């Protein structure tokens, strides 16, 4: 008798490569832990539980970002993660500004500045060192880094430096028309950059000569990629929400230690950007430095290009003027960062030496945040 043909079975998505069971469970559990702990006083046990859920959500976010990136290809994958993190971060900033009152008038400025320093010095430095130690010389495309750095410098100067020098209003603030101009131009320049990155000159932002295993692996099916995209968003909600839930304990610890209040904001910003950092370091270790730079510089650009337009549009509902201009010390750090990045990333090749320079600047930023 002929063998009976086995009925076709739909693949079990819980066991498909690229979507293991833990990657589904962790984002959902992180959000459940966040919901159960929201508004409760933080004790030692609850604090440890939230911290564990936070770092598990970071790992899940990195995994799902890599699945999406493998499906859609570069530079779309890095853009998805950078924009997703920034959108959720912007929502958190606006919520904190509304709830914080006049004391939160500089929150947008401090968060954007911290994001730039973390991205352009912290992430870039760690990636150059990690990739350089493994591969020696790292290659990337100057055609991709140059427009990113130029856009980052223009947006940072327009949004964070000029408000300290305008004379229409007192203090580090913009007038209504100036703020509207800054918001519109920031969004427009960021939009042009995304168009160039993803459509007009996409090849400028592709990894250089990557023949690694990941580049030859079969991309996951579309529905697995869509599932990972949804789980990525859930993971990022968990990351940002858990960071916010841990913020009171962190701020209390900072106050008890006699440190500046800005130190708590820096730590929170570093936690929120952990998914991007992890994905960028993984790319550098895989000899895909261009992907790392897309993530790092793209994160800084997205932070300015999305945060400033949103707070500018909502400024009429804030009962206080927005303090956007940086103090002199931060302006010097920002200038050093942009000049250094232009020099270190201007050749298309880098080693651990360039990474060490960026890490020194990042250490200076952290130290001066604690000892201004």
Question: For residues 176 and 248, what is the distance between their CA atoms, to the nearest angstrom?
Answer: 33
The pLDDT score that the predictor gives to residue 11 is 40
- In the predicted structure, residue 8 carries a pLDDT above the cut 50: no
Give tens-digit pLDDT for 259-304: 776 777 787 778 778 888 888 999 999 999 998 999 899 888 988 8
Question: For residues 352 and 38, what is the distance between their CA atoms, to the nearest angstrom?
Answer: 42
Encoded tokens for 212? 């690694």
Q: What is the DSSP letter of 326?
A: P
Encoded tokens for 34? 């966040």
End-to-end CA distance of the chain: 85
Nearest to 309 by CA among 181, 197, 164, 166: 181
pTM over 0.95: no
- In the predicted structure, residue 222 carries a pLDDT above the cut 80: no
Give tens-digit pLDDT for 120-129: 999 999 999 9
Beta bridge partners of 349: 139
Percent of the chain topping pLDDT 90: 35
**64, 247 Cβ separation under 8 angstroms:** no
Q: Which of 26-30, 99-103, 336-340, 368-372 has the highest mean pLDDT?
A: 336-340
Three-class DSSP category at 6: coil
**pLDDT band for position 99 (cuts 50, 70, 90):** low
Measure the CA angle with vertex 267, ends 182 and 271; round to 5°: 90
Give tens-digit pLDDT for 319-367: 788 889 999 999 999 999 999 999 999 889 999 999 999 999 999 999 9
The pLDDT score that the predictor gives to residue 13 is 36
Arithmetic mean of pLDDT, 40-46: 78
The pLDDT score that the predictor gives to residue 81 is 73
Arithmetic mean of pLDDT, 15-20: 57
In angstroms, how far is CA 11 from the centroid of its own chain? 34
Residue 138: what are its φ and ψ, rounded to 5°? -105, 135
Encoded tokens for 290? 């261009």
Structural domain boundaries in the chain: 65-208+225-370
The pLDDT score that the predictor gives to residue 210 is 55
Based on C-alpha coordinates, what's the Rg of the chain?
A: 21
Arithmetic mean of pLDDT, 175-184: 92
Cβ-based neighbours of 183, under 8 Å, separated by 6 or more: 308, 309, 311, 312, 313
Question: For residues 163 and 108, what is the distance between their CA atoms, to the nearest angstrom?
Answer: 13
Question: For residues 84 and 322, what is the distance between their CA atoms, to the nearest angstrom?
Answer: 25
125/86: higher pLDDT: 125
Which is the CATH superfamily of the domain at 65-208+225-370? NCX, central ion-binding region (1.20.1420.30)
Neighbours of 136 (CB within 10 A): 10
**301, 112 Cβ separation under 8 angstroms:** no
Question: For residues 89 and 176, what is the distance between their CA atoms, to the nearest angstrom?
Answer: 24
């Amino acid at each position: 008798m002929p063998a009976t043909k086995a009925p076709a079975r739909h693949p079990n998505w819980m066991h498909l490569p690229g979507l293991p069971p833990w990657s589904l469970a962790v984002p959902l559990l992180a959000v459940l832990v966040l919901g159960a702990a929201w508004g409760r006083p933080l004790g030692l046990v609850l604090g440890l539980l939230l911290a564990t859920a936070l770092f598990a959500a970071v790992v899940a976010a990195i995994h799902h970002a890599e699945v999406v990136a493998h499906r859609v290809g570069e530079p779309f994958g890095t853009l998805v993660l950078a924009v997703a993190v920034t959108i959720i971060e912007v929502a958190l900033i606006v919520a904190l500004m509304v709830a914080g009152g006049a004391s939160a008038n500089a929150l947008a400025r401090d968060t954007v500045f911290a994001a730039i320093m973390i991205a352009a010095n912290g992430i870039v430095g760690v990636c150059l060192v990690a990739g350089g130690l493994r591969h020696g010389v790292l290659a990337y495309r100057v055609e991709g880094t140059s427009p990113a750095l130029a856009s980052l410098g223009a947006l940072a100067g327009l949004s964070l430096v000029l408000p300290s020098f305008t004379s229409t209003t007192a203090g580090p603030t913009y007038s209504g028309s100036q703020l509207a101009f800054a918001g519109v131009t920031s969004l427009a320049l960021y939009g042009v950059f995304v168009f160039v990155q993803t459509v007009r000159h996409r090849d400028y932002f592709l990894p250089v000569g990557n023949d690694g295993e990941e580049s030859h692996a079969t991309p996951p099916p579309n529905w697995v990629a869509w599932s990972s995209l949804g789980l990525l968003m859930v993971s990022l909600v968990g990351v940002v929400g858990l960071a916010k839930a841990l913020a009171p304990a962190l701020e209390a610890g900072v106050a008890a230690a006699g440190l500046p209040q800005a130190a708590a904001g820096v730590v929170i910003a570093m936690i929120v950007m952990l998914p991007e950092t992890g994905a960028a370091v993984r790319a550098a270790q895989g000899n895909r430095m261009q992907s790392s730079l897309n993530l790092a510089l793209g994160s800084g650009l997205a932070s300015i290009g999305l945060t400033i337009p949103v707070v500018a549009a909502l400024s009429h509902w804030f009962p206080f003027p927005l303090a956007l201009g940086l103090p002199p010390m931060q302006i010097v750090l920002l200038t050093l960062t942009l000049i250094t990045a232009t020099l270190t990333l201007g050749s298309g090749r880098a080693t651990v030496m360039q990474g060490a320079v960026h890490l020194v600047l990042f250490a200076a930023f952290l130290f001066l945040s604690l000892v201004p």
